[in-house]
Homo-oligomer: A and B are copies of this chain.
Amino acid sequence: MDETRWLEADEAAAWMNILALVEYLPGMVDQQLKHDSELGRFEYSILAMLSDASERTLPMLDLSTVTFGSLSRLSHTVTRLVERGLVSRERNGGNRTVTLAEPGWDLLKSAAPGHVQQVRKLFFDHLPAGKERELANILEPVVNHLKACAPRS
């Protein structure tokens, strides 16, 4: 529908695949998690990142960075997780920190295998063999740019 400033064929093919991923994957990941563990992918990500952190604790801003979410999305979600007793939130001087609670750790442990299985079934089982590294390398600089210019609000 356009003349010059459009995408060329290879770009268009790549972009269509990215669009499909971006529309399909989140919902399909959420669906399994919600069904099996009453957890959304963002909630899962929060619990998982906390479990890897020293003391199982992270400041809100750091947590928002490693989960790829906005601070306000994180704040709303943490409120719900606190209500469910899965994490706790403390003030630590000027910053607030979130800590993984026992029930959150237990839930994460029980949710992880099914989640990983779903990621395999949806994604890696269909990726051309041996292309994992190549894919990571191709996307790396793009992702670094997105991280750098994503609005942290």
Contacts and interface: CB of A to CB of B under 8 A. Distances in A.
Interface string A1-26: 11001111011011101111111111
Contacts of A125: 145
The size class of the interface chain A forms with chain B is 35 or more
27 contacts: A1-B51, A1-B52, A1-B108, A2-B112, A2-B113, A7-B124, A10-B133, A14-B133, A14-B139, A17-B135, A17-B142, A18-B21, A18-B25, A19-B45, A21-B22, A21-B139, A23-B68, A24-B147, A25-B146, A122-B142, A125-B145, A126-B145, A127-B142, A131-B138, A134-B134, A134-B138, A135-B138
Interface residues of A: mostly helix, strand, loop or mixed?
helix
A71 interface: no
A137 to B, nearest CB: 7
A116 B5 contact: yes
A102 interface: no
A13 B136 contact: yes
A114 to B, nearest CB: 10
Interface of A: 1-2, 5-8, 10-11, 13-15, 17-26, 28, 31, 45, 48, 51-52, 67-69, 108-109, 112-113, 116-117, 119, 122-128, 131-147, 149-151
